[in-house]
Amino acid sequence: MPVQALQCKECDSTYPLDARYVCERCFGPLEVAYDHSGLDAAEAKRKIQAGPQTIWRYADFLPFAAPPQPGLPVGLTPLQRAPRLAEALGVGEVWIKNDTANPTHSFKDRVVAVALAKAQELGYQVVACASTGNLANAVAAHSAAAGLDSYVFIPADLEEQKVLATGVYGTNLVAVRGTYDDVNRLCTEISGERDWAFVNVNVRPYYAEGSKTIAFEIAEQLGFELPDRVVAPIASGSLFTKIARGFQEWLDVGLLAGELPSFSGAQADGCSPVAQAYEAGRDLCRPVKPNTIAKSLAIGDPADGPYALDLARRSAGSIDSVTDREIRGGIRLLAQTTGIFTETAGGVTTAVLRKLAERGDIGSDERVVAVITGDGLKTLDAVRGSFEAHEIEPSLAAFEHALAGAAVGAV
């Protein structure tokens, strides 16, 4: 199989494929290294198309010597063309990668499926995570399906919908009084004391590989072609950069032709360390204290921020931020033009897409894919009070009085 080793992203030192996440030599982050030199592109394409209707159809590009036992069915979410959204924005072609269709209704099912499979391969009996919500949902659900114990650590002020959708699976739910960055620091400490697989700490290199499958699916769903631009949210920066790595891997082996798309990152003003660094021309992000309704993106000290900055610049992309008001507007715009109800992170992505269009950054002939990472039912408070419900008596007269002139299609 192509998977070879863990490799430092800074100094290229290599390590065995075990549970570790930082280089012992330079303290740089580790990622999975592959050797696809013996791969035949035509045969790989046939194998993919004949594979299961899940992310495991891409097993040759995931960190396993042999395909793992599948758990919850993850991936192959819709890539939906959005002509009404494109028209509203005044651009040519927009597609929505709708990852709300995953088992726990966010892209986190992808990363957890890979991390949990690796944790089982390495012999772990307990799975854990630090989460802003979606990851908590996914770890709890996938652990329950696999029969593993789990511990989920979240900020105490997390949205109620995400808390309820985590606790129902029987996980050990720990609410920490602090920000996500406080939660993550605590989990890093615990990972040194307990023999647990923290999906986004000691097995993070494998966890991050799950995000590549978004790129694989987009390319396959476009007929093994590349989009011209990808608009995606940035929290830690891992999703943003791993989508690019997925495209690059397929370019390298000949499954795709062309050049890497432009990558446009999306953050909320209330937690925008990467957008601030991009605007200031810096290569490093200055940590911030989050204050935004987009809590799933509220990581004030993003681990992959420098790599997200590099990707945006070398791909002729950008990184922008939007206000909470614009986020709510993005949620409504997406819902009213595509029928997709997204959480606040998707509102950030859609609002940044609108900003790019208004600024004239999107060419008239560009094929743009916006990555929507989570379901709106997870963040209902974001749309509370944004519309009116007409309460009437059960009579035609009452209806006509309340909605005079508003009815469409009346005979």
Considering the domain boundaries, does residue 398 fall inside one?
A: no
The pLDDT tens digits for 328-379 are 999 999 999 999 999 999 999 999 999 999 999 999 999 999 999 999 999 9
pLDDT at 408 over 60: no
Q: How confident is the model at residue 411 (pLDDT cuts 50, 70, 90)?
A: very low
Q: How confident is the model at residue 67 (pLDDT cuts 50, 70, 90)?
A: confident
Considering the domain boundaries, does residue 402 fall inside one?
A: no
- Residues with Cβ within 8 Å of 295's Cβ and at least 6 positions away in sequence, in order, are 132, 133, 155, 157, 158, 159, 344, 379
Domain of 336: which CATH number? Answer: 3.40.50.1100
What is the reported pTM?
Answer: 0.95
Domain boundary among 208, 234, 266: 208
Domain boundary among 208, 242, 273: 208
pLDDT at 221 over 90: yes
φ/ψ (deg, to 5) at 271: -160, 80
Q: How confident is the model at residue 404 (pLDDT cuts 50, 70, 90)?
A: confident
CA distances from residue 256 to 192, 211, 223, 246, 278 in whole angstroms, order as listed: 41, 18, 10, 11, 29
| Average pLDDT score over residue span 135-162 | 96
What's residue 356's pLDDT? 98
Q: Are 289 and 158 contained in the same domain? A: no
What's residue 3's pLDDT? 95
Considering the domain boundaries, does residue 39 fall inside one?
A: no
Give percent of the chain above pLDDT 70. Answer: 98
47-51, 60-64, 399-403, 405-409: range with lowest mean pLDDT: 405-409
What's residue 410's pLDDT? 38
Considering the domain boundaries, does residue 406 fall inside one?
A: no
The pLDDT tens digits for 100-109 are 999 999 999 9
- Number of compact structural domains in the chain: 2
What's residue 406's pLDDT? 64
At 150, the amino acid letter reads S
pLDDT at 409 over 70: no
The pLDDT tens digits for 23-57 are 999 999 999 999 999 999 999 999 999 999 999 99
In sequence order, what are the beta bridge partners of 129? 152
Any idea which residue has 């192959």 for tokens? 76
- Residues with Cβ within 8 Å of 240's Cβ and at least 6 positions away in sequence, in order, are 232, 233, 234, 263, 265, 304, 308, 311
Q: Are 175 and 130 contained in the same domain? A: yes
The pLDDT tens digits for 312-338 are 999 999 999 999 999 999 999 999 999
β-strand pairing of 229-233 with 367-372: parallel
Mean pLDDT (the chain, rounded) = 96
Closest alpha carbon to 120 in 228, 196, 14? 196
Q: Are 186 and 229 contained in the same domain? A: no
Task: State which residues form the domain around 141.
Answer: 108-208
Q: Are 257 and 184 contained in the same domain? A: no
What's residue 334's pLDDT? 98
| Average pLDDT score over residue span 283-298 | 96
